[in-house]
Amino acid sequence: MGRLILFNKPYGVLSQFTDKSMTADGPCAALSDYIDVPGVYHAGRLERDSEGLLILTDDGALQARISSPKHKTPKTNLAQVEDEPDDAPLAALRRGVTLNDGPTRPATVRRIDPPMLWDRDPPV
């Protein structure tokens, strides 16, 4: 059995171990600032301005199964937005939207009551 690490990635941290990006405030933090385990790689990723569960593993087959779009592994995300979204943007997500790198698959999307979450710096 391979190694599996569950990491609650903070806001402002890149989902990579090297090549820290520069911002106006200096370099961004990366996984290497938090995880000192050789041979593990992230399975999927979260954007720098996102936070939440990130799975890391040294099992290449598992990493590919989670990360590769060809496997269509479902993933769940919680998106906090200002105001309450009306039906039009939710319907667009359900159809699939086109991003800079191409179209997304249709999403299962629904409104939920605000969950209890940790404080975030900066606030949403």
For the entire predicted model, the pTM comes to 0.77
Contact 38, 54 (CB under 8 A): no
E strand segments, 11-80: 13-14, 22-23, 26-27, 29-30, 41-43, 52-57
Distance (Å, rounded) from C-alpha 59 to C-alpha 40? 8
Q: What is the pLDDT of residues 9-63, one digit of tens each?
A: 998 898 888 766 666 667 788 899 999 999 999 998 888 888 899 999 999 999 9
Domains of the chain (ranges; CATH) run 4-76 (3.30.70.580), 79-112 (no CATH)
Q: How far is it, in rounded angstroms, from Cα 86 to Cα 93?
A: 12
Bridge partners, 99 (sequence order): 102
